[in-house]
Each structure stands twice: as C-alpha cells, then as structure tokens.
C-alpha cells in the first residue's frame, strides 16, 4: 500500500471482552500514538512525517510505535479508522441538522486534511478514493450514525467529500447542512 493510493481502513481496534489492565494500557498507548500521528501529519504532512517524528509527537520511543504499527501506512489506516469512529459517535449524539453541521466543521477544519489539501493534494485524493466495498461501509456507518436511509447517507457522504476538498465557510456549510437535513428522510426506529 502506498501513501498516494487508497488506504485500507480497518475497523475499530478495540476487541470486545478484552478488558484487562494490560489491554487498557495498550489501548491508551495506541490512542496516544494515533493522536501523535495526527499532530505529526498536521504539522509535516504524510510524506515528510517519519516513524521517528510520529513517535516524537506522541512522546514515546520509536520502538513503542513499532510495537503497535509496522509501517507508516498502518499508522495512517489507524488514524483514519479512529477519526471515522470519532465522527460517527459525534453525529449519533446530535439531531440531524446539527450532526451534519458538526461533521462539516470537523472535516472542513481538520488539520491533517487541510495540510494535505495544500501540500499533498495527490495524497489527499488517494485517501478519499475507496472501492465499492469501502464506500458501502462508509455510507452504512453514516446511515446508522445519522438515522437516515442508505440513499440519504450516500448524499451526505458525497457532500462531505466536497467539504473535504473545498471546505468553504462554516456559515455556508451550516446553511447547506440545514437544506440537506430538510430533504433527508429519517429512518423509523
């Protein structure tokens, strides 16, 4: 896998039922490593970031990083998965219009995405390119988080891709979120 090509997005790293102290500590370390990666990628971009710079941004030794991730591409995949989980949880806790506005704000101002858009647009395009199976997974995640049908989730996903590529102004995104929320049909529980 290349940083310029599509990234395989793994599911959440948490394994249900693994609530041991060692497991919890490893989970916290992994979260810290992913947060450090976000800082490194936001400051230096993906290409210029190294495993050493990711470890330094996370405040750990490089060996600790390698205990969790074999390659920088694995770190990127973990960051993408963590961000998708975070955004889905955020959206699920809000009414539809607010969820759409919040998602657009998060993606429109995301430091890693903004850095890539300016300095490494080809890498950003590669990250956004997903096969049909991944797209189906993303739209399913959105459908569940927003409580909309699959067609509505498809519209939202395409709109959010536009936000990533050209975020525009927050006030404009919020108006668009309101219009989009007005045409989406909620799924009956």
pLDDT in tens, 19-37: 555 556 667 888 999 999 9
CB-count burial class (<10 Å; 0-12, 13-18, 19+) for 132: exposed
What pLDDT does residue 23 have?
A: 55
The mean pLDDT value for 144-161 works out to 96
CA–CA distance, 155 with 50 (Å, rounded to integer): 36
Flag the least confident range among 4-8, 49-53, 105-109, 162-166.
Answer: 4-8
Residue-by-residue DSSP string for 168-188: --HHHHHHHHHHHHHHPPBPP
Q: Percent of the chain beyond pLDDT 90?
A: 78
- Indicate whether 3 pLDDT > 50: no
pTM beyond cutoff 0.75: yes
**Where does the chain hold its CATH 1.10.10.60 domain(s)?**
14-70
What sections of the chain are H helices per DSSP?
21-48, 51-58, 62-68, 72-92, 96-108, 111-119, 121-128, 132-146, 150-165, 170-183
What pLDDT does residue 11 have?
A: 41
What is the architecture, at CATH level 2, of domain 14-70? Orthogonal Bundle (1.10)
Confidence of residue 46 (pLDDT cuts 50, 70, 90): very high
């Amino acid at each position: 896998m290349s940083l310029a090509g599509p990234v395989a997005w793994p599911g959440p790293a948490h394994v249900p039922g693994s609530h041991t102290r060692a497991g919890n500590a490893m989970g916290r370390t992994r979260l810290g490593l992913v947060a450090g990666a976000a800082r490194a990628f936001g400051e230096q971009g993906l290409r210029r970031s190294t495993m050493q710079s990711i470890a330094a941004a996370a405040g750990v030794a490089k060996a600790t990083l390698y205990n969790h991730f074999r390659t920088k591409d694995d770190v990127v995949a973990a960051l993408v998965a963590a961000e998708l989980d975070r955004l889905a949880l955020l959206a699920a806790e809000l009414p539809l219009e607010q969820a759409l506005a919040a998602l657009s704000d998060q993606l429109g101002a995301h430091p890693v995405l903004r850095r890539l858009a300016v300095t490494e647009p080809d890498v950003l395009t590669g990250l956004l390119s997903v096969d049909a199976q991944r797209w189906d997974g993303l739209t399913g995640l959105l459908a569940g988080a927003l409580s909309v049908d699959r067609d509505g989730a498809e519209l939202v996903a395409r709109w959010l891709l536009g936000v990533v590529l050209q975020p525009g102004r927050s006030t404009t995104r919020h108006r668009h979120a309101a219009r989009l929320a007005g045409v989406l049909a909620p799924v009956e529980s």
